[in-house]
Structure 1
């Protein structure tokens, strides 16, 4: 049986490590801005393409805890319980390029109400981590 999820890999040239598979159909990616100290959260789903062959990463909802210079929420955001909530305009990205640094807190992977640092699955090399929808076929 195939499982939907994400594959995490390091984008640095010369890195030959195998991608790490994290099973998930829904998850939240969260982080705190390094300068402004404002928390952001984005909800995603992993689905199959209409023909059932390709996994797709779908952005569902995003929220930011306040606003700050250069990080304003979009015009259509609604303030609800201290969070600006909005619908992302990119619906089916092929994947995300996450900049991770030893000088900032790591991204958090949240699922079923628990959040863990992304480094729980894949250590950072201080550069770009690729997060791509994928299928694990045992």
Structure 2
């Protein structure tokens, strides 16, 4: 399937099976990281990591502390679409990585980013 990204009025189509999202928390200035799976029915969060806790960034009770942060497996259902937004309070937006290539998206405050799965990214 194709991961579709609409950011800054531009659409991008990526034929990938997985991707990661990472960003810096606006208050704690620590990194949050998630790995997502692209399926025919939508997007599934499969793994997450936060480097430290605080200011609404608490890891769930079953998270495991490793040298690079708290690791856990999100208990969220399959998502038909995901919306991201930048607060403007951080130094950057979101970093989306897939198949060895990373791109920064969502650097403009208040400009939402839409992620979804579709054969031709029309929708």
The interval holding the TM-score normalised by the smaller chain is: 0.7 to 0.9
**2:91 equivalent to 1:107:** no
Q: Does 1:135 align with 2:122?
A: no
1:51 matched residue in structure 2: none
Unaligned runs of 5+ in 2: none
**1:69-114 Cα deviation digits (max 9, x unpaired):** 2211111111112310111111311121101245431100112344
**Does 2:81 match 1:81?**
no
Q: Deviating runs (4+, > 3 A) in structure 1?
A: 123-126
Partner of 1:26: 18
Please say which structure displays the higher CA radius of gyration: 1
Task: Give RMSD over aligned pairs.
Answer: 2.4
- Is the CA contact (8 Å cut-off) linking 1:44 and 1:58 kept in structure 2? yes
5+ residue gaps, structure 1: 49-54
Quick check: 2:36–2:47 contact (8 Å CA) kept in 1?
Answer: yes
Offset at residue 59 of structure 1 (A): 1.0
What aligned pairs does 1:35-54 form with structure 2 within 5 A after superposition? 35-48=27-40
Q: Please give the alpha-carbon distance, in whole angstroms, between the structure 1 residues aligned to 2:109 and 2:13.
A: 18
- Separation of aligned partners in 2, 1:96 and 1:86: 20
TM-score, normalising length: structure 2: 0.81
